[in-house]
Amino acid sequence: MSARNALLEDHSLVVRDGRILDILPSSVAATRYSATAVLQRNSHLLMPGLVNAQTDAASLLFRGAKQQTSAIDRVVNPDFARDGTLAAIAEMLKSGISCFCDRSYFPEETLRTANEQGMRVVVGMPVTETPTPWANSAAQSLTRSLGLRDKYKGDPLVSTAFAPRAPNTLSDETFARLVTLADELDAGILIDLHQSQHEIAACLETHGMRPIERLWRLGLLTPALNALHMVHLTAADLSLMQRTGISITLCPQWDLKLGGSLPQIAAIAAAGVRLGLGSGGAALSQDVWGDMKIVALLTSAWDGLHAATLGGAAALGLEAEVGALEVGKWADLCCVDLSGPATQPLGDPLAQLVFGGGRDIVSDVWVAGRQLLSGGELTRLDWPDVAARSAAWPMRLNARG
């Protein structure tokens, strides 16, 4: 994914200590290396693991609950967060995802769960001025966030970022403190932006400017910012995004479901803005194959796959470590079987992968060299146990609705 449309045939990828040691023709690899384990996939394509750059993983358990069930039911219980995250990880691994970014009011539970399963995770630490299960105030939000960040500092599978929620409700003072901390710590910021016309109208009424302009005036529009959704844009908004170097995580399927609108994907891509993909909420699925197809249809197959791999890694600040098959990077890998009906006859592997592929063709996933999916089967996660616990939640939520 580091070179446009680069496809290597009959090659081997060599992994040592979780990182990519070499990529070379298989005939040469057989003579150069004496491997402790060799895995052959003769009708497959190996690529970087997919990156889901925006999830609400635990809300997967909300799928079976009644519509009138209070939304707070999905965030007040750490057990809910753990069970939902486990189920989401299973679905993501089966879909070829090796890294995900999640925002919830139980970030420590999400982080601990992902870490136990060997999954790469970026956890958004919520910043709010109103009481939540995470904190009672903005000051406490930031204090707890710094503690969580320090606790997992140095873990190669864990990254954290500040995740201000409902930006229209945050004061200029809170944003100023957030900017200072993010700059001092070289930390990322995740924020919903321009997802709805209502959000924009409210900001205009309260602050006299569009949300993206307010963030710019407050100093938030830097390459450390990952803006989620960006559905409603003007030419001035797009120019501001381009000039400031922010990243955009698109959630096209989720945005279509919520409001029936797509962002200006072709225009954003043409502007050279870093693009990642996210599944958003849990009503559809935790994979990004459908989102990748939408982006590809409006741009190109390469752009769609790039957004789902290296683009997503870049949006999360991880492009130096994952997102491409390059020597020295972590061996976060996805292997897909191209021998099935959807991808045969194999004339253009890239186009057929993007437009004909899906989670049903994913065979293997590795994170930092550890195989978490082998031949379509989960190797570490106890799915029967997770499924049983997940199945109990809709009834519990409905009983409380």
Cα separation, 88 vs 121, whole angstroms: 12
Say if residues 95 and 50 touch (Cβ distance below 8 Å). Answer: yes
Find the DSSP H helices in 117-251.
Answer: 138-151, 172-185, 197-207, 211-217, 235-244
Task: Name the least confident of 67-76, 286-295, 370-379.
Answer: 67-76
Cα separation, 42 vs 251, whole angstroms: 34
Q: pLDDT grade, residue 76 (50/70/90)? A: low
Task: Name the least confident of 17-26, 48-57, 75-84, 116-125.
Answer: 75-84
pLDDT(52) > 50? yes
Amino acid letter, 313:
A
Query: Where do the DSSP E strands lie in 230-386?
Result: 247-250, 274-277, 333-337, 362-367, 370-374, 377-378
What is the residue extent of each domain of the chain?
Answer: 12-44, 50-315
21's enclosing H/E stretch is strand 19-25
Site of tokens 């459908």 = 290
Per-residue pLDDT tens over the stretch 174-221? 999 999 999 999 999 999 999 999 999 999 999 999 999 999 999 999
Amino acid letter, 279:
S
Domain spanning 50-315, CATH class: alpha beta
pTM: 0.95
Q: pLDDT grade, residue 64 (50/70/90)? A: low
pLDDT(275) > 60? yes
Cα separation, 100 vs 98, whole angstroms: 7
Q: pLDDT grade, residue 259 (50/70/90)? A: confident
> What would the two tokens of residue 166 be?
């409902």
Per-residue pLDDT tens over the stretch 143-180? 999 999 999 999 999 999 999 988 888 999 999 999 99
Per-residue pLDDT tens over the stretch 112-135? 999 999 999 999 999 999 999 999
Share of the chain above pLDDT 70, in %: 96
Tell me the backbone φ, ψ of residue 392, rounded to 5 degrees. -80, -20
Say if residues 53 and 249 touch (Cβ distance below 8 Å). Answer: yes
pLDDT(70) > 90? no
Q: What is the pLDDT of residue 233?
A: 94
Question: Strand 377-378 relative to strand 370-374: parallel, antiparallel, unpaired?
Answer: antiparallel
Q: What is the pLDDT of residue 395?
A: 78
Q: pLDDT grade, residue 74 (50/70/90)? A: very low
> What would the two tokens of residue 150 be?
């320090």
Q: What is the pLDDT of residue 282?
A: 63
Cα separation, 20 vs 329, whole angstroms: 6
Q: What is the pLDDT of residue 69?
A: 45
For the chain, the average pLDDT equals: 93
Amino acid letter, 328:
G
Sign of the C-alpha dihedral, residues 167, 170, 175, 177? negative
